Amino acid sequence: MNQSKDTLLGMLVGFGTLIISLPLVLLILSLAYSYEFGYFWNQFTSYSVYTSKYLSLACLPNLFWFYFFLNRERWARARGVIFSVLVLVPYAIYVNF
């Protein structure tokens, strides 16, 4: 029972990090390319080619949590973080094709 709670906590951390990091990725891109944030947000919501690319970039901060939980031997939480990223894979494939 405790392992399933830890896995769920890892999934929540993974999805929460994705929700926070997606706007940050778009903000960094807007600052780097000197475009408005709305331009990149429109690309993310309207063009499927960019949606999967921006989601992939937003999943990178989850690597921090994965290694953080691995180093503290919280295997179930690390599994939850990986599972939250793997949930997005079918969506990214669907959007590309």
pLDDT above 80 for 96: no
On average, the pLDDT of the chain sits at 91
Distance CA 84, CA 19 (A): 12
State pLDDT tens for residues 6-46: 999 999 999 999 999 999 999 999 999 999 999 999 999 99
Number of domains within the chain: 1
- Domain extent, residue 6, equals 2-96
pLDDT above 90 for 90: no
Q: Cα angle vertex 37, ends 46, 17, to 5°?
A: 85
pTM of the model: 0.85
Q: What is the pLDDT of residue 92?
A: 81
Q: What is the DSSP string of the chain?
A: -HHHHHHHHHHHHHHHHHHHHHHHHHHHHHHHHT--HHHHHHHHHH-HHHHHHHHHHHHTTHHHHHHHHHHTT-HHHHHHHHHHHHHHHHHHHHHH-
Q: What is the pLDDT of residue 79?
A: 94
pLDDT above 70 for 5: yes
pLDDT above 90 for 89: no
